[in-house]
């Protein structure tokens, strides 16, 4: 079976590293971005099976706004 492709939008390196370690150990392919602009660019380029969004990015509720799109 192919790996599931996951988009991770997380601006904190410490949090992202924990999630990435866990997800890679469970056979996910992870594309990590730190902001909404890069997330939108990645979604236009490829298909994702799962998207994990940080709700508050740089002090703003950007993850919520992105999910609404």
pLDDT in tens, 27-58: 999 999 999 999 999 999 999 999 999 988 88
Closest by CA to 36, choosing from 68, 5, 13, is 68
Per-residue pLDDT, 62: 78
pTM: 0.89
Closest by CA to 15, choosing from 56, 48, 62, is 56
Per-residue pLDDT, 56: 84
Rounded CA gap, 61 and 46, in Å? Answer: 25
Q: What is the DSSP letter of 34?
A: S
The answer to whether residue 1 scores a pLDDT higher than 70 is no
């Amino acid at each position: 079976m192919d790996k599931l492709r996951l988009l991770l939008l997380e601006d904190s390196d410490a949090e992202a590293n924990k999630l990435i370690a866990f997800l890679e150990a469970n056979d996910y392919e992870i594309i990590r971005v730190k902001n909404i602009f890069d997330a939108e660019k990645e979604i236009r380029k490829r298909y994702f099976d799962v998207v994990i969004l940080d709700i508050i990015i740089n002090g703003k509720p950007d993850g919520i706004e992105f999910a609404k799109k």
